[in-house]
Amino acid sequence: MNAGPHLGFAMEIIIADVLTRYNRAQWNNVFLLTGADEHGSKIYNKAKELGKTTIQMLDEHVALFKELEDSLSVTPDDFIRTTDKVRHWPTAQSIWQKLEAKGDIYKKKYSGLYCEGCEVFMPEKDLDPEGNCPIHHKKPTLLEEENYFFRLSKYEEQLKKLIASDTVKIIPEFRKNEILSFLSEGLNDVSFSRSADKMPWGVPVPGDETQVMYVWCDALTNYLSGIGYSFDQEKFARYYPTYLHVIGKDISRFHAIIYMAMLLSADMETSKNILVHGFVTSNGEKMSKSLGNVVVPEDVISVYGSDALRYFITVWGGGVGEDIDYTQTGFHNLYNSGLVNGLGNIANRTSTLFCKYYPDGVSTDAFVLDAEIHVAIISAYTLYTSSLETFDLRTGYTAVSTLIDLANKYFDEQKPWTIKDDPEKLRGILLNLVEILYHVTILVAPFLPETAEKMREIFSLTDSKLGDFSSDAEFRLTTENKALKLLTVPLLFEKIV
């Protein structure tokens, strides 16, 4: 939070929002929490460098993150800040006291290598051959302090069992194996506080004004404060335990090991799932504010639109948990091939032709959906649901693409523009296409919400399941509506040369 958001943050909130929108369409009880981790010395030092108070700088940056969420059509139910002294600080301090009462917090002198960019103490084995942080390419600073420590080692065996059994399920599988491999090396207790005279920015340790909380109890507990732990027990009971964390691979250990151990120490139920995504890279290197190779999401959105960026994050790369490499050429080609020539093309051709021949609408009486199209719709929903239930967004969108490709192929093969003299055949072809597009609109909505809204305008329907984006593989627009009238709308996607 020492600068504005980059594509890595956009990636995370897009993934979370797609899954949230999907679950809302399934009528599941869902709460999407985003927020700002405002802990740390690098934030404090950056504010001093800029000649601003820390909170002044943070307020400015938080505003940028919230603006990006709006620009990307992300729909959080709440945004929690770790500087929130009303909601978050009481939660962090309460959890600290629970761990302390359990005998899991103790004080000792400590010396270690600290990477300010990562905000963590790093063992030498995790450094690169030159002794640098492998992410920020800088040498950590040697710090010697007397801190409080958390007895992480106490929970080593319990964590192994929880993760190996998928009680805490880590997705994808290779990330789970990485965590288990790390656990097999043995856990050490972790520093849990910093001296207030060296880092005067953070949540005070209960009962010791000389110390402030280190990032673990300060930032990780936002998952609890964000759903009412210290101020709304009814809300907390409704949404706890956490069903899914969406986090980057560089902090997977902290969430899967340290945070889960904290919950165990506090006698609380652990989280259910941890989805570990990769980085957005540039020429194979992580985009990072520290490295100065970031792509500003707003710059991409201003040219291509927010759904284009959501589409890129969803379908690009090798699958769940893999890195996504951004290049301007790759992004541009994907936009034109997948959105302009794919979804945009069939939506425009179908609605234009329909409105040309049936400006006042057309009856659906006696229409029978093509059997191949019927099977394709059912298959698409099956793949779509199974993929998103396992957090596989890329495969989930493949189900939508299958219907889009089918519609384009059907249009080209049937050549409806050539059979205007056979009105019954023309009606059948167009109604088949409309049925496919209806289901594409439903399925694409979590991925491309702005596009889905434009497609809703084509159908001009508010009294069907399209009105609330309900997902139903058996619903047939052409059966439920005795007459259909479509509207022409501007192109979904403008071709960019």
pLDDT score recorded for residue 152: 98
**Residue 168 per-residue DSSP state:** S
pLDDT score recorded for residue 131: 87
Residue range(s) occupied by CATH 3.40.50.620 in the chain: 7-312
Contact 241, 271 (CB under 8 A): yes
Question: Which positions ≥6 away from 309 have C-beta within 8 Å?
Answer: 10, 14, 72, 297, 300, 301
What single letter denotes the amino acid at residue 253?
R
Which parts of the chain have pLDDT scores under 50?
none
Strands, DSSP E only, in 125-243?
141-150, 169-171, 190-191, 193-195, 204-205, 208-213
User: Is the pTM value of this prediction over 0.85?
Assistant: yes
Domain 335-484 has CATH 1.10.730.10: yes
Topology adopted by domain 7-312: Rossmann fold (3.40.50)
Residue range(s) occupied by CATH 1.10.730.10 in the chain: 335-484
pLDDT score recorded for residue 480: 87
Closest CA to 217 of 119, 105, 93, 98: 93
Contact 344, 304 (CB under 8 A): no
Task: Identify the H or E element spanning 401.
Answer: helix 393-414
Phi then psi dihedrals of residue 284, to 5 deg: 80, 0
Q: How far is CA 142 from CA 123, 139, 488, in A?
A: 11, 9, 65
pLDDT single digits (tens) 47-67: 888 999 989 999 999 999 999
Which pair of structure tokens corresponds to residue 393?
A: 């967004």
